[in-house]
């Protein structure tokens, strides 16, 4: 008895007249005819191509369905047609194999999300718990998630990558081990540390401590996660200077950082080097109070802040003040005057801005 078996899968589609469909599937869709029978009056044809195997059968009970063909030359594949209908009624859509990441225009809003308001935790990828920190997603411009794994241990993750413009992982509690393409062996991210995951870098989450919590920022909000079936991690090369779409991988260790005056008077901040390594796409700072802060306005696009420890009162023009504590988050739109008031000495803020450099006025 053989040790291995060959297995194939195919999709069956109906047809009323097979001879009408064959020229369309072979010439227009450029598929290969593999078998046809019976010879005297064919009723079944099997075709393959583009990673797909079709069985077109006269009188089959299925509906015609839709085929999507993804190609790096959609304008040249079917004489530029993006939507076709086969003689058997099957719709065919021609689309980009690797479409560019679409960054929606930001819908600016003043947003405050408090942990005490009991925003729901939902079960997401690999069994992780997700809490949405910006329900509006700013019109699809970004997503900010508070992620936790209550019970640590091995994480049931696979090698994968994200089609994003920018992605941050900042650890606020516990630790997590992750392995990245061309960055050597597993790297442990601990509280106060962060990763920048450049667009499409392959990676896999390995282990996590009990109660691990991270903040994950993704731009745009809706982005694709793809499983990488061909690559094993770690990869044999260590390439710390490699760039993915102009961005470098960053592992910033909080304990090694130093503080300097912040963009807001009355605060100093630790630069995570992300502005430099993303070439100005974004900046990530950890800020703490040193004295009273004035009212300020910023002229950036996106300014997101998460309260990691301590308390403060967020005052905004035309808004009721918000007393904020750990787990709370807020977004300040450009041009709006705000003030960080009544800060406790242990206040520590995680600030993420896009772009990385922008103007703040007092």
| CATH topology (fold) of 11-96 | 2,3-Dihydroxybiphenyl 1,2-Dioxygenase; domain 1 (3.10.180)
- The reported pTM is 0.85
Question: What is the pLDDT at residue 179?
Answer: 98
Q: What is the pLDDT of residues 13-57, one digit of tens each?
A: 999 999 999 999 999 999 999 999 998 889 999 999 999 999 999
Rounded mean pLDDT, 122-140: 83
pLDDT tens for residues 198-237?
999 999 999 999 989 999 999 999 998 999 999 999 999 9
Largest Cα–Cα distance in the chain? 91
Tell whether omega for the bond before 234 is within 30 degrees of 0, i.e. cis: yes
CA angle 152, 154, 157 (to 5 degrees): 115
pLDDT of residue 165: 94
301 or 6: which leads in pLDDT: 301
Q: Closest by alpha carbon to 243, among 278, 267, 218, 219? A: 278
Residue 84, classified by CB atoms within 10 Å of its CB into exposed (0-12), middle (13-18) or buried (19+), is middle
pLDDT per residue as tens digits for the range 336-359? 999 999 999 999 999 999 999 999
- In sequence order, the β-bridge partners of residue 169 are 195, 216
Q: Please give the DSSP secondary-structure letter assigned to residue 106.
A: P
SS (H, E, C) 5-66: CCCCCCEEEEECCHHHHHHHHHHHCCCEEEEEECCCCCCEEEEEECCEEEEEEECCCCCCCE
Can you give the residue ranges of every domain in the chain? 11-96, 100-362
Assess if CATH 2.60.120.10 describes domain 100-362.
yes
pLDDT tens digits, one per residue of 264-276: 999 999 999 999 9
Of the candidate ranges 3-12, 115-124, 155-164, 265-274, the one whose mean pLDDT is the lowest: 115-124
Model pLDDT, residue 53 = 97
Contact 186, 225 (CB under 8 A): no
Residue 125 CA to residue 175 CA, distance in Å, equals 18
CA angle 243, 245, 251 (to 5 degrees): 45
What pLDDT does 150 receive? 82
Least confident range of 9-13, 65-69, 128-132, 158-162: 128-132
The answer to whether 242 and 182 are in contact (CB under 8 A) is yes
**Once rounded to an integer, what is the mean pLDDT over residues 272-283?**
95
């Amino acid at each position: 008895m053989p040790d291995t078996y060959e297995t194939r899968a195919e999709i069956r589609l109906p047809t009323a007249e097979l001879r009408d469909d064959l020229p369309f599937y072979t010439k227009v869709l450029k598929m290969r005819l593999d078998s046809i029978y019976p010879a005297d009056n064919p009723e079944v044809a099997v075709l393959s191509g583009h990673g797909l195997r079709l069985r077109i059968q006269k009188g089959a009970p299925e509906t015609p369905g839709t085929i999507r063909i993804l190609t790096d030359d959609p304008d040249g594949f079917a004489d530029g047609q993006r939507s076709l209908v086969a003689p058997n009624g099957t719709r065919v859509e021609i689309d980009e194999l690797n479409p560019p990441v679409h960054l929606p225009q930001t819908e600016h809003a003043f947003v405050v999300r408090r942990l005490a308001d009991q925003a729901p935790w939902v079960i997401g990828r690999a069994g992780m718990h997700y809490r949405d920190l910006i329900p509006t997603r700013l019109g699809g411009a970004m997503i900010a998630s508070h992620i936790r794994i209550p019970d640590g241990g091995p994480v049931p993750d696979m090698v994968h990558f994200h089609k994003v413009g920018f992605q941050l992982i900042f650890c606020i509690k516990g630790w997590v081990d992750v392995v990245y393409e061309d960055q050597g062996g597993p790297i442990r991210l601990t509280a106060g540390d962060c990763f920048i995951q450049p667009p499409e870098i392959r990676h896999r989450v390995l282990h996590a401590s009990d109660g691990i919590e991270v903040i994950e920022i993704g731009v745009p909000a809706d982005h694709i996660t793809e499983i990488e079936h061909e690559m094993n991690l770690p990869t044999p090369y260590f390439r710390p200077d490699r760039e993915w779409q102009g961005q470098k991988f960053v592992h910033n260790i909080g304990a090694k950082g130093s503080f300097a005056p912040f963009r807001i008077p009355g605060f100093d901040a630790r630069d995570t080097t992300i502005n430099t390594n993303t070439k100005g796409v974004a900046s990530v700072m950890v800020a703490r109070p040193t004295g009273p802060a004035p009212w300020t306005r910023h002229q950036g696009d996106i300014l997101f802040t998460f309260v990691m420890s301590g308390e403060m009162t967020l005052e905004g023009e035309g808004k009721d003040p918000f007393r904020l504590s750990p787990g709370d988050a807020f977004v300040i739109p450009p041009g709006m005057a705000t003030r960080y008031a009544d800060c406790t000495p242990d206040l520590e803020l995680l600030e993420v801005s896009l772009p990385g450099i922008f103007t703040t006025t007092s």
